[in-house]
Structure 1
C-alpha cells in the first residue's frame, strides 16, 4: 500500500474509494484529536457541529480527517452508493474531495438495537498542530469484502455463512487488512490506543487466538453490537492511535 500527502490538512492518507480513504496519519509537528458526540447527530447537524469545533480549535476545515457514522440499517449496494454520493458533497465544499480522491478515513456501522432514525455522526477526528510525541493515526473501518467493483455478494468472504469457522475466516481477513493499512504508515498493533469491533455474532471462539494474540487488543477491545454498512457483511474493525480524545 502507498500513501499520499494531503497538505491542506497536514496529514497523509491511503487512497481507496471515492467515499473514504483506508486511513490517515498526521504529519510531523501535528497530531490527531478525536471527539465523540454524547448522542448521534444527524448528518447535516453533525457536519455543522464538526465545522464549529474545528474552527474553534483554530484549524481549517481541511483538517477534518476521519469520522465514525451510525446508520439505521445495512444498505443495499445501490443504496450505499447513493448515500455516499450525498455524503461527499460536504467534503467537496470543504475542499477535501476533488471529485475522485477522498483523504478522509471513515467507519459506518449499524446498531442492531436502538439505531438512529437516519445516518448520524458518532465521532470524528481532525488534525491539530503540535507534536504529540507518539504515532497519530486513524485506520478506516474494514469489513470482510475483497476489493474491486463487483457486487458485494461476489466479494464477501464466506458470503451468507455466519458459522464459527466462517466468522474466524472473516476476522482473519479483516485483521490482516488492518495490519496492512497500519504498515503503510510504518505502524502496527503495538502503536494503537484503541481497537473497535462491529459484529452481532459470537466472537469468543476466535477472540483469544486471532485478536488478543496478535496484539490487537493491547489497549482493550471495544465491541459494538453493530452490523457493517452493507447487506451481507458480518464483521468489521477499525483502530487508531490518538493522544487527545474528548466528548462534545
Structure 2
C-alpha cells in the first residue's frame, strides 16, 4: 500500500512526490476539496495573493491550499525548471505549508501552444472546506512520460524525441499507469473521477479508444488542452480529479 501523509492543519492527506509538488491529495474525513478556476491565468505572485484572499473569504487558513494548476509561456529547460520551482516553493514555505521541508501541494504546470501567458501563473487551484459526511474527493498531480525524482527528465523520458503514433501510445500508457498508481494511494480509480485533463499537441486519436476508453477514462468526457508539458522534450501529460464543487472566478 502506498503511504500517504496528513498535511498539518490542511484538512487533507497527500502522497509524497518530489520537492516541487506532491503526487496527489485527498480530503480527510470531515472535509471536501473544492476547485476554483480563474477566467484567465493570473501571474504567480498576484495569483498567490488572490488565492490567499479567497481562502480568507471562505474562512480557511492558508494551509488549506492543497493543489494547483499552472500555466507557463513555454517549456522550461531543466535548469530553468529548477529555478522556477525554487521561486514557487518560496511562497509555500512562507505560507507555512512545508514546516518539515516536504511539499504537500499537488500541481500541474503546462504550456499553451496557442495564446500562452506572458509569465507563469495560476489557471486553477483546489482547497479544503469542512464538510460532514462528504463523499471522498481527491486531486492527482500532473505527470508526463518520465519518472519523477530522477536527476533529470530527459535521460528517463519514454521514447525521447519520438512522436510517432507508436511512441505516443507508449508515452500515454506510462502516464495512464502513473495516474492509476497515484489514485490507488487514496483508494481511487477512473470510476470515481469527475474530471480528466490531457495536455499534448500531438494526435491521440489512434489510441484514444484502445487506451483511454478501455480503462474508463472517458466516462465523463476528456478535457484536452492544446498544451505542452513544462519541460523541454516531454510531449504528453495528464491529471485527474474527483471534486464535486467547482467554480470560475473573474481573473
Q: Give the TM-score normalised by structure 1.
A: 0.98
1:190 aligns with 2:191: yes
Match of residue 110 from structure 2: 109
| Residues 8 and 63 in structure 2, CA contact (< 8 A), matched pair in contact too | no
Q: Distance in 2 between matches of 1:151 and 1:239?
A: 24
1:75-114 superposed matches below 5 A = 75-98=76-99, 100-114=101-115
What whole-Å deviation, never above 9, does each CA across 1:164-218 have from its counterpart, x for those lacking one?
A: 0000000000000000000011110011100000000000000001001101111
Per the alignment, in what secondary structure is the counterpart of residue 68 of structure 1?
strand
Q: Count matched residues.
A: 248
Q: Distance in 1 between matches of 2:85 and 2:235?
A: 20
Question: 1:147–1:43: structure 2 CA closer, same or farther, 3 Å change rule?
Answer: closer
Match of residue 171 from structure 1: 172
1:244 aligns with 2:249: no
Match of residue 21 from structure 2: 20
Query: Structure 1 segments of 4 or more deviating over 3 A?
Result: none
What whole-Å deviation, never above 9, does each CA across 1:127-176 have from its counterpart, x for those lacking one?
A: 01113632200000010002343322111000000000000000000000
Unaligned runs of 5+ in 1: none
Aligned-residue CA RMSD (Å): 1.0
| Residues 132 and 243 in structure 1, CA contact (< 8 A), matched pair in contact too | no
Q: Distance in 1 between matches of 2:8 and 2:101?
A: 17
Q: Distance in 1 between matches of 2:144 and 2:154?
A: 13
| Residues 74 and 227 in structure 1, CA contact (< 8 A), matched pair in contact too | yes
Q: Distance in 1 between matches of 2:120 and 2:230?
A: 11
1:52 aligns with 2:53: yes
Q: Distance in 1 between matches of 2:218 and 2:230?
A: 23
Q: Give the TM-score normalised by structure 2.
A: 0.97
Q: Distance in 2 between matches of 1:147 and 1:63?
A: 25
Unaligned runs of 5+ in 2: none
Q: 5-14 vs 174-183, which deviates more?
A: 5-14
Q: Distance in 1 between matches of 2:217 and 2:62?
A: 31
Per the alignment, in what secondary structure is the counterpart of residue 151 of structure 2?
coil
Match of residue 223 from structure 1: 224
1:200-211 superposed matches below 5 A = 200-211=201-212
Q: Distance in 2 between matches of 1:163 and 1:146?
A: 21
| Residues 31 and 132 in structure 1, CA contact (< 8 A), matched pair in contact too | no
Q: Distance in 1 between matches of 2:211 and 2:108?
A: 22
